[in-house]
Copies of this chain bind each other. A is one copy, B any other.
């Protein structure tokens, strides 16, 4: 990795949690300068403008989320274990896997009316998550783990929505109480559809 690539990556890593916490619009280039201890001119050697840097930071947050998620799912053998591990991964919004909370929630709500590029990025990661979940359920049905009328895509959607909503509720209330209920409810629903 060349010096330039190294610096670029360094900036992204420092910028990502700031964008995810404060939001894109509310984060200034001087915030990033302060975090990286780099000069303004140096920032613009690696990123032609703030939006490009913000997009890179969004991507980085998604990548961290995905990497940690894959790691959390790695040990799961059965399909039910995959679903439970997925739920557990999101079960502690006061100590979220990505600094600033779920980037899908943060960037999704900021971008939906104002930033089509980021909006589409979020949309794609959600689609990807949905595919993972519905795929696990389909496999579970084939394996006779789940009842044949367990609807993969519908439950994937319901589960994802509930996790994101629970994340919001817990972050706003400042504790995990609501998320715990969501976790319990989801696991119950999965058990009800298990054989």
Interface on A for B, CB 8 Å cutoff? 21-23, 25-26, 100-101, 104-106, 108-114, 119, 122-123, 126, 153-155, 157-158, 160-166, 168-169, 171-174, 178, 181-182, 184-185
Copies in the complex: 2
Of B100, B160, B171, the contact of A169 (CB 8 Å cutoff): B160
Contacts of A162 in B (CB 8 A): 158, 161-162, 165
Of B112, B123, B165, the contact of A101 (CB 8 Å cutoff): B112
Beta-carbon contact of B181 and A157 below 8 Å: yes
Of B108, B110, B172, the contact of A119 (CB 8 Å cutoff): B172
Beta-carbon contact of A161 and B166 below 8 Å: yes
Of B100, B154, B160, B164, the contact of A184 (CB 8 Å cutoff): B154
Beta-carbon contact of A23 and B25 below 8 Å: yes
In whole Å, how far is A165's beta carbon from the nearest beta carbon of chain B? 3
Given contacts A22-B113, A114-B26, A181-B154, contact A108 B172 (CB under 8 A): yes
Beta-carbon contact of A171 and B112 below 8 Å: yes
In whole Å, how far is A139's beta carbon from the nearest beta carbon of chain B? 20
Given contacts A22-B113, A25-B25, A110-B110, contact A169 B157 (CB under 8 A): yes
Beta-carbon contact of B178 and A161 below 8 Å: yes
List the 8 closest A-B pairs by CB distance, nearest first.
A161-B165, A25-B26, A165-B165, A164-B165, A161-B166, A112-B171, A158-B185, A157-B181
Q: How far is the CA of A100 from the CA of B181 in the complex (A)?
A: 29
Beta-carbon contact of B168 and A114 below 8 Å: no
> Can you list 14 pairs linking A and B with CB atoms under 8 Å apart?
A23-B114, A25-B26, A101-B113, A109-B109, A112-B172, A123-B172, A123-B174, A154-B185, A157-B166, A157-B182, A160-B169, A162-B162, A163-B165, A164-B168
In whole Å, how far is A181's beta carbon from the nearest beta carbon of chain B? 4
In whole Å, how far is A175's beta carbon from the nearest beta carbon of chain B? 11
